[in-house]
Every structure is written in C-alpha cells, then in structure tokens.
Copies of this chain bind each other. A is one copy, B any other.
Amino acid sequence: MPTYTPPVADTRFVLDKVLGLHAYANLPRFAAATPDMVDAILEEGGRLCAEQFFPLNQSGDAEGCTRHEDGSVTTPTGFREAYRQLAEGGWIGLGAPEAYGGQGLPHVLSVAFEEYLISSNIAFAMYPGLTQGAIAAILVAGSEEQKALYLPRMVAGDWAGTMNLTEPHCGTDLGLIKTRAEPKGDGSYSITGTKILISAGEHDLADNIVHLVLAKLPGAPGGTKGISLFIVPKFLPDAEGRPGARNAVSCGSIEEKMGIHANSTCVMNYDGATGWLIGEANKGLAAMFVMMNAARLGVGLQGLGIAEIAYQNAVAYAKERRQGRALTGPAEPDKPADTLFVHPDVRRMLMEARAGAEGARALALWGALQVDLARHAPEAAEREAADEMISLVTPVIKGHLTDLGYQIATEAQQVFGGHGYIREYGMEQYVRDARIAMIYEGTNGVQAMDLVGRKLPRQGGKAAMALFALIAADIAEAREGAQAELAVRLEKAVGEVQAALMWLMQHGMKDPNNAGAAAYPLMTLMGIVLIGWMWLKMARAAQKGLDAGEGDRAFLDAKLVTARFYAERILPDAGALRRKLEGGAEAVMALPVEAF
C-alpha cells in the first residue's frame, strides 16, 4: 500500500543550488558528472528503485530470510533478480574506480542514489552497502594482488562482501575479540572463532561472499593493538579467480530481529577457515575503521532514507483520510469531513518530518562532497581540511540522522492513527527498520563519545574551528538580507554549541565523566545546528532563485517556509540541550550500583 517517488528535484536542488556541483568540474571524477549524467543517474536510478526494489520491501519483510539445514540462506522472493538488475546496471560500482570496473563517479552522486535505494528497500540496500564497505577497505589496505583478484568481481556485483567484527561477548570493545588466526606457513592463515550479528553474512545473491574478519595472531599484543584484518572468502578462488573449494566458514543461524527481516543477520562460524592478512599484522583496526567510517556515513543515510519514505506516505494518507473539521471552519463543507491535512497538529508532524528529511539530505550530500574533496581536491591542504571536516561530522551524521530517522518514522506512523500500527499500511515496518540504524556501526552513544573524545579535540579543535568559521561566514552574509531572522536564530544556536564546548573544556578535564555525560546532548546539539546551517544555505539558494526569477516558484517558496519552520520549531532545542549538558556528571553518576 505505501508509495515511493524519488525526490529528484530536491536532490538536484541540493547538488546544483546549494553545493554548486558545477564548480567542481575541474576535479577528477567530477568532469564525468555532467548535468546529463547527473540527470540520468537520478532519474534512471530513482526509477529502478521505485519500480523494482520498492515493491519487494513489504513482501521481503513478511517473508524474511530462510536458513536451510546445510547453512545456506535464501533471501526473499524477487531479491535475486533485483540484485542482478542492480549489479548489471553498474549501480554497485557507481563510485568505484574505473580501473576495477567502476563508474568512477563522484561519491556525492553515489550517495544521492543510495538514498533512493534505502528509501525503496533498506534491507535490500544493505547487501550492496556491505559490499561497498568491503571494497573501500580492500582499496585502502589490500595488496595489489588482492585488489586485482577481489575488486573487479565485487564491483561487478558477482561477489559480495561483509564485515565481521562483533563476537558474542563484545561489540563496541573490540579489544576483547577471541577469534584466532594461525599462520599455515603458505602465506595463508587458519581462522577460528564465532562472529555474531553479521549483516548479509550468508545469502544467495552472489557467487561468492568475501568476509573481512577481525582476528588475533598468535602472541599478538592485548587489546585493540593486537587485532589483524583477514580476507576470508566463502569459496576459495581457484587459479583463474573463480569460486573454488568451499571454505570452512558457515552460517550457524540467522537472528530473529525487530526489523530488516529481508537482510540475513548471521552467526558466522569460522572453523579453521582459510584467510589472508589484509594490510599489516596487528593494524587491522585501522583498516577496518576505513570501512567503518564509510559505513557510518552510509548508516546516517539510512536515517534519511527511512525519514523520506515515511514522510511521503504520511503526506499521502493525510491528503486522503477524512476526519473532523478545520478549526477555522469546514474546508470542504460538501464532504462529510475535511482531510487530516487541515489539522495543525498533523501539519506539525508533517513539517517536522519534511524539515528533518530535507535538512538531513543536504547534510548527507554536503558530507559526501567533503569525502570527494578529501580524495580529489587539487591541493594537499584542501584534501586534508576536507578529510578533517568529514571526520569531525561523521559521528554527528551517523548519530543524529539515525535518531531523526526513527523519530520521523514514528511521527509519520502517528499520522496514520490506528492504521499506523497495522502491518499492511507499511508504516510500522519503517519504524522497526529505522531502529537498527541507531545501534549498528557503533551505537549512537559510541558516536557521541567519538565526537567528544576524539573528533572535537583533534589537533586542538582545528576542524571544529574551521566548521564554525564556515557557518559564521554564511550567517554574516545572510544577516542583512531576506534571511536575516533565520541567520540570527541560527547564530543563537551556534552560540549554544560554543558555550557548551567552552563548558566542556573547563569541566571535561577536571572530570572526564563530565565529558561522557555531555556527549549525547552535544552530538544532538551539533546535529541540530548543522541541519540549521543547511537550512540557511537552502533558504539563501531559494531566495536567490526567486530574486532572479529562476526555477519553480512554488518549490522555492516551500524551501523558505520549511526553513522558517525549522528555525521556529527545531532550533529552540539547542538552548535546552546546552543547559542539560551543563548539569554535568554528578547527578548522572551519583547513585551507587546497589541503588539500581
């Protein structure tokens, strides 16, 4: 019953008018991203998602994955064909290097498409998503032979990828892992251990599955300094690089989960499986973090993708469903009742969802552009600055956008009233699916600690200062114009972040628990301000179009209204968040464990 229309006009608005993609045409990869190419990607990619993958979303949830007695896993009906379409269209390798068969397009375009893929079917989107993460890790840490053997097959979608970190007793604290790798003397290793919660760990979509596995070498140092990364294919490649002998890795069970039922979440048993070291011994976590940082941005995107699809369907329902009358008098007196659309509280929910989803999209695409700049900007200093910037905001994009995705899915479900709780309407699935994004790839609490403990203090807070300078410049330019009120409100919110950071500097050193207790409110505060900044950018771009008489007037007017809504209805949280974190750790930590 739900519907999906890829928000191509909104994506284009951000790419063209807010980020000014055309200004980067001089960079490698961007030259290929001509306006026609961008159109083709968004239009064709969007159509594929809406017409082929979206119709499998509800059926995939209902059917789920099936593990057979031999340990093989069958994905829901239609997934194999859909995966073939995705692979054959070259969509998995959109952002992969041409040298390995990829399209070599900018990351920002890849991300734009990925949003549509997630909106249409998040559980399906995770299969290529995991593969892309594995590609990223092999690209960075793999040897030339490994790249040559694995990447072309993975980019083409013939082989899939996974990441194997979590074990029964440890997730966040990877220093505790027990999986062992014994050298076999021929350059390969024998891998033994149990990994749990492995997304896409086993399935029937690809000819081979390339597991990237964290394990410990004999005599490795304790903790995270003794972790190495191994490549463990399901089928050992033969001399021609074809899937050969079955490796000793198997799916022991698939988990019963709250959502993303169409993605197989596996317990993976490694029983002396053959693997090869990727990168240096004991440096596995660094390589895995390459994959994880990419994955964290991808998970942030899941928040956006679910927010968008949930929003669209709440709008459709509110337009159709008739209950009650407008407070200002019947809007359609000839009908038995007005639509839900007339009720301010319904509008409030729709506007919150809209302002959240559109703002999240701008932030996600801005972040993706930083990734491109970090790789391809002509000057080293520019690359480094972009890298520092995306490194700083990655935990915010992961943490805040997924919080927002869940919140918006919940609110969109609320618009449906009782029908929102019923499976066939599809809304409850979005809530169940959105929930995981706050948990995996590092819980949002871990993101908050990453922000406060690592990212903000790095290089004496250089990246944060650079970020605030960018925001301040936009505010300064906007302060005298038509967007003055928005600029002033954003400035106030930025002031709350800065006051919070000042508090943190003064109190975090004294007692590190103050930093820990401040982490989550600070992450949310930064997320609210970053999206507010995006709304300032969008409002200014819209105003520019209106002033110049260019573009769709109604479309641009709507951006101005939504920006105002964001300023009036979301930015006020900034002050409350600052006051909360200034409460410090005392009341948070005061109770003895026996009191619980």
Q: Which residue numbers of A lie inside 8 Å of B, CB to CB?
A: 166, 169-173, 175-176, 196-197, 255-259, 315, 318-319, 322-324, 327-328, 336-337, 341, 343-351, 354, 406, 410, 413-414, 417-418, 420-424, 428, 431-432, 435-436, 438-440, 443-445, 448-449, 511-513, 515-517, 519-520, 554-555, 557-558, 561-562, 564-565, 568-569, 572-573, 575-577, 579-580, 583-585, 587-596
Contacts of A336 in B (CB 8 A): 176
Assembled-state Cα–Cα distance A483/B257 (Å): 45
> Which residues on the B side are within 8 Å of A555 (C-beta)?
595
B323 touches A172 (CB 8 A): yes
Task: For the complex of A and B, list the 4 residue pairs with the smallest distance between their C-beta atoms, beginning with the closest.
Answer: A344-B516, A568-B583, A258-B428, A327-B512
A569 CB, min distance to chain B CBs, angstroms: 5
Q: State whether A587 and B572 are in contact (beta carbons under 8 Å apart), knowing that A436-B421, A520-B345 are contacts in the complex.
A: no
How many whole Å from A198's CB to the nearest CB in chain B? 10
Is A554 a contact of B319 with CB atoms below 8 Å?
Answer: no
* Pair A554/B595 contact, Cβ less than 8 Å: yes
Residues of B within 8 A of A588 (CB): 344, 347-348, 351, 565, 569
The answer on a CB contact under 8 Å between B420 and A558 is no
The contact of A345 among B516, B564, B596, by CB within 8 Å, is: B516
The chain B residue sitting closest to A512, CB to CB, is B327
Do A348 and B423 touch across chains, with their CB atoms under 8 A apart? no
Residues of B within 8 A of A584 (CB): 568
A422 touches B255 (CB 8 A): yes
A256 partner, pick from B422, B443, B448, B595, beta carbons under 8 A = B422
* Chain B residues near A346 (CB-CB < 8 A): 445
B residues in contact with A169, CB < 8 Å: 322
Q: Write the chain B residue with the least CB distance to A560.
A: B590
Once bound together, how far apart are the Cα atoms of A565 and B512, in whole Å? 18
- Nearest B residue to A256 via CB reads B423
Pairwise interchain contact B414-A323, C-beta atoms closer than 8 A: no
Do A345 and B449 touch (CB < 8 A)? yes
Let me know if A257 and B576 touch, CB within 8 A. no
Q: Is the interface of A mostly helix, strand, loop or mixed?
A: helix
Please list 14 pairs of residues, one from A and one from B, whose beta carbons are closer than 8 Å in the complex, sorted by A's number. Answer: A173-B322, A256-B422, A257-B422, A258-B431, A258-B432, A345-B520, A351-B587, A351-B588, A414-B445, A421-B436, A558-B591, A562-B591, A572-B577, A572-B579
Shortest CB-to-CB span from A285 to chain B, Å, is 14
Q: Are B422 and A439 in contact (CB under 8 A)?
A: no
Q: A173-B324, A421-B435, A575-B575 are known contacts; what are 11 more A-B pairs with Cβ within 8 Å?
A: A173-B323, A173-B337, A196-B418, A256-B424, A327-B513, A344-B519, A344-B585, A421-B439, A554-B592, A568-B587, A576-B576
Known: A327-B515, A588-B565, A593-B341. A439 touches B418 (CB 8 A): yes
A257 near B414 with CB under 8 A, answer no
Q: How far is the CA of A34 from the CA of B583 in the complex (A)?
A: 42
Chain B nearest CB: distance from A5 CB in Å? 12
How far, in whole Å, are A66 and B445 apart by their CA atoms in the complex?
40
- By the criterion CB–CB under 8 Å, are A596 and B258 in contact? no
**Chain B residues within an 8 Å CB radius of A323:** 170-173, 176
- Please determine whether B428 and A171 come into contact, CB atoms closer than 8 angstroms: no
In the assembled complex, the CB of A265 is this many whole angstroms from the nearest CB of chain B, namely 8
Q: How far is the CB of A39 from chain B (nearest CB, A)?
A: 23
Known: A568-B587, A587-B351. A417 touches B345 (CB 8 A): no
Q: Which B residues touch A564, using CB under 8 A? A: 587, 590
The closest CB in chain B to the CB of A338 belongs to B173
User: Can you name the residue of chain B whose Cβ is closest to the Cβ of A428?
Assistant: B258
Assess whether A345 is in contact with B448, with CB atoms less than 8 Å apart.
Answer: yes
Give the complex CA separation of A90 and B482 in angstroms: 69
Bound CA span A501–B519, Å: 34
User: Which residues of chain B are within 8 angstroms of A406 by Cβ–Cβ distance?
Assistant: 410
* Residue among A344, A432, A438, A573 with the highest chain B CB neighbour number at 10 A: A344
Closest to A329 in B: B512
